[in-house]
């Protein structure tokens, strides 16, 4: 996948993660996109480590689920760290 595809994929995964975990988050669209992109990496790692999957390899349902799972994990960590600073 190209960089533009990863950005769009990350933005969508980040938005879905924020919809599944409602609440106040510091940051806007850029933070959502970064959490989604990093979530795809983390989700791929989780999938490879726990289930032996191929990770996030393209635009399919399994990759999208792993990306959203990773984004949820990162969003929870981000909220914990941002909450301690405030």
Can you tell me the mean pLDDT for 64-76? 83
Among 39, 29, 54, 31, which residue's Cα sits nearest to residue 9?
39
pLDDT recorded at residue 3: 67
Residues 1-37: pLDDT tens digits? 566 776 777 788 888 888 888 777 666 767 777 877 7
| Residue pair 24/46 in contact by the 8 Å Cβ criterion | no
The parent domain of residue 64 ranges over: 3-85
Count of domains in the chain? Answer: 1
The model's pTM is 0.74
- Taking residue 61's Cβ as centre, other Cβ atoms within 10 Å add up to 7
pLDDT recorded at residue 70: 83
């Amino acid at each position: 996948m190209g960089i533009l595809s990863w950005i769009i994929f990350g933005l969508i995964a980040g938005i879905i993660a924020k919809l599944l975990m409602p609440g106040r988050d510091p940051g806007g669209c850029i933070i959502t996109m970064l959490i989604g992109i990093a979530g795809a990496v983390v989700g791929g790692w989780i999938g490879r480590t726990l289930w032996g999957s191929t990770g996030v390899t393209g635009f399919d349902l399994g990759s999208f689920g792993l990306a959203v799972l990773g984004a949820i994990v990162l969003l929870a960590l981000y909220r914990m760290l941002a909450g301690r600073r405030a």
